[in-house]
Structure 1
Amino acid sequence: MIDYTPLYRALEDAGATSWVEQLPGQIQAVLNQQSHGDWDRWQSVVDKLPSVIPSSNELIDSVRIGSAGDLSTELQQKLFDELQALHPWRKGPYQVFGIDIDTEWRSDWKWERLKNHITSLKNRLVLDVGCGNGYHGWRMLGAGARMVLGVDPTLLSIMQFQALHKLYGEAALYVLPLGIEDLPADLKLFDTVFSMGVLYHRRSPIDHLLELKGFLRSGGELVLETIVVDGGVDTVLLPEQRYAQMRNVWFLPSCDALIVWMQRCGFKNIKLRDVSKTTIEEQRSTAWMRFNSLQDFLHPEDDSLTCEGLPAPLRAIVTANID
């Protein structure tokens, strides 16, 4: 497991001593309660990863750990097999000692869409809610963040992050096996909070926005990315059952409705930064994610609709501040 001691120190320095007192117990409780049948296998994979110091790392234009020349052909093949054992890889891509982890999502495309629209992350304390295996957290470090904390309750994502962190070496990036509900309310701790691909999974989007607001210190920035639908200020789609085969999709607002929600929650300086259709080039099946993906979830005769006949995924990026 990752040593969280540096994280605890950083949180204490930021004034979150009371949370630091709770965190070790929270993490241990999750690990004690885990019941996933693959947990021991995943942990064994991480434990067996080679201890190699990368000749160089890259976090600015991509996420690259080491190079092919750092490993023998035999050791590179062994590493390939071990990383494949952590399938499916959803967020990325990563280049790891010459191995291209071609993930389901081209998460780098999302980063390109937002990176020029956010306040500089230089020397900022950053929270990434629903971070998956931490891809965007690495990019945030590359953008100069002082420390990035990700939270995600998905155990496989945690193990993938642990594998990458072990191969990369020391980094001020941490991913906790927690959900947003496990964080203390009104922390008022972070300079920037990211919530990307989370809002539509929450049964109460207003409560989610208020939680995010409570994590920010005065003057902090929220970067929100979510699925939206076309329409006016009163347009909100609530799927009857599934949306693109996902069971846990709740409210899909129009951009105008989303902005009103954020205004009602007390956010200021709200700006719609980007609206992009999710394409089958950005989310697709690969050798590193061999299950069905977006193409299988769209209407076979009309890719503007999901297989249920609802509007196909359209994603918006919004930034906002608090007083």
Structure 2
Amino acid sequence: MKQNKYDDSEFFENYSQMPRSIGGLNAAGEWQELRAMLPELRGKQVLDLGCGFGWHCRYAREQHARAVVGVDLSENMLERARAMTNDSEIKYLRLAIEDINFNAGEFDVVISSLALHYVEHFDIPCQKIHHSLVPGGTFVLSVEHPVFTALASQDWYYGQKGERLHWPVDDYHHEASRQTNFLDNEVVKYHRTVATHINTLIESGFRITKVSEPQPTQEMLDRHPDMRDETRRPIFLMIAAVKN
């Protein structure tokens, strides 16, 4: 199943109002950690899978990447990305992540931020990404954390007064689709365990170099005290890997 919720006008409008959609990378709580996991980008050929508004593509060029390709299935996303981009060395392609078919060794770095949990079969993009990277090339990805995706409700367990008591985890080892509510719409995400993410990368020919489960920085907590509960359970899983 290849989802394209972002070309639904109501869903896209709601997404466009999110802080990260307006403020870009600096409004994304996990960005500082993801940025630290990226390799040196100067002179590199970079691929961004699930590029959205093109924030990571433009960042790569700001870091003097030689050229960048951004891939997304949503025409709405790509239209916005193109409108926000004034750089002939950034190319945007409308394509499902599962359908990429780049040449061997075409890229030095592949990035995918919060997109792969919408892809049913994780092994297929991993193998294609491995093929498209140069030897020693880097793949950095972020997904919603399996602790977060295990239950379709993706919500706290509340007390009688509406207080957040704990984050429930159940059916963790049942890897399958989860129909969840996101931005007042029904969306299908795919739950996989931490082990499946890591082992699939290894089996695809990667060496894991770093794993991160970031939490809000103290600076973010000072600015947004309502994020305090985000320290109680992981919401993102990030992995950096190198092609053997």
In structure 2, do the counterparts of structure 1 residues 215 and 91 end up closer, same or farther at CA, with 3 Å as the change threshold? farther
- Write the distance in 2 (CA, Å) between the matches of 1:240 and 1:87: 23
User: 1:180, CA displacement in angstroms?
Assistant: 2.4
- Write the distance in 2 (CA, Å) between the matches of 1:107 and 1:214: 33
User: 1:182, CA displacement in angstroms?
Assistant: 3.8
Higher relative contact order (CA 8 A, sep 6+): 2
- Write the distance in 1 (CA, Å) between the matches of 2:173 and 2:122: 11
The number of residue pairs the alignment matches comes to 201
Tell me the residue number matched to 1:128.
48
Tell me the residue number matched to 1:253.
193
Tell me the residue number matched to 1:174.
91
Tell me the residue number matched to 2:127.
210
Select the residue among 69, 74, 82 that pairs with 1:149. Answer: 69
Tell me the residue number matched to 2:235.
314
- Write the distance in 2 (CA, Å) between the matches of 1:195 and 1:182: 15
User: 1:213, CA displacement in angstroms?
Assistant: 1.1
Structure showing greater Rg:
1
Which runs of at least 4 in structure 1 moved beyond 4 Å after TM superposition? 85-88, 90-94, 105-108
- Write the distance in 1 (CA, Å) between the matches of 2:177 and 2:71: 29
After TM superposition, list the pairs within 5 Å mapping 1:18-167 onto structure 2. 88-89=15-16, 101-102=22-23, 108-165=28-85
User: 1:239, CA displacement in angstroms?
Assistant: 5.5
- Write the distance in 1 (CA, Å) between the matches of 2:179 and 2:57: 30
Select the residue among 216, 219, 226 that pairs with 2:143. Answer: 226
In structure 2, do the counterparts of structure 1 residues 37 and 114 end up closer, same or farther at CA, with 3 Å as the change threshold? closer
- Structure 1 residue 264 corresponds to structure 2 residue 185: no
Structure 2: state its 5+ residue gaps: 1-6, 151-171, 221-225
Tell me the residue number matched to 1:238.
175
User: 1:154, CA displacement in angstroms?
Assistant: 0.7
Deviations 1:160-199 (A, max 9, x none): 112112xxx3342222122224432553210001122122
Q: Is the 8 A contact 1:107 1:135 kept in 2?
A: no
SS at match of 2:105: coil
Deviations 1:126-180 (A, max 9, x none): 0000100101111111122111110101111111112112xxx334222212222
What's the TM-score once normalised by structure 1's chain length?
Answer: 0.53
- Matched letter for residue 204 of structure 2: C
In structure 2, do the counterparts of structure 1 residues 217 and 106 end up closer, same or farther at CA, with 3 Å as the change threshold? same
- Matched letter for residue 72 of structure 2: D
What's the TM-score once normalised by structure 2's chain length?
Answer: 0.68
Identity of aligned residues (%): 21
Tell me the residue number matched to 2:169.
none
- Matched letter for residue 242 of structure 1: Q
In structure 2, do the counterparts of structure 1 residues 128 and 107 end up closer, same or farther at CA, with 3 Å as the change threshold? farther
Q: Is the 8 A contact 1:227 1:316 kept in 2?
A: yes
- Matched letter for residue 238 of structure 1: E
SS at match of 1:159: helix
User: 1:249, CA displacement in angstroms?
Assistant: 0.8
User: 1:90, CA displacement in angstroms?
Assistant: 6.4
Tell me the residue number matched to 1:21.
none
User: 1:217, CA displacement in angstroms?
Assistant: 1.6
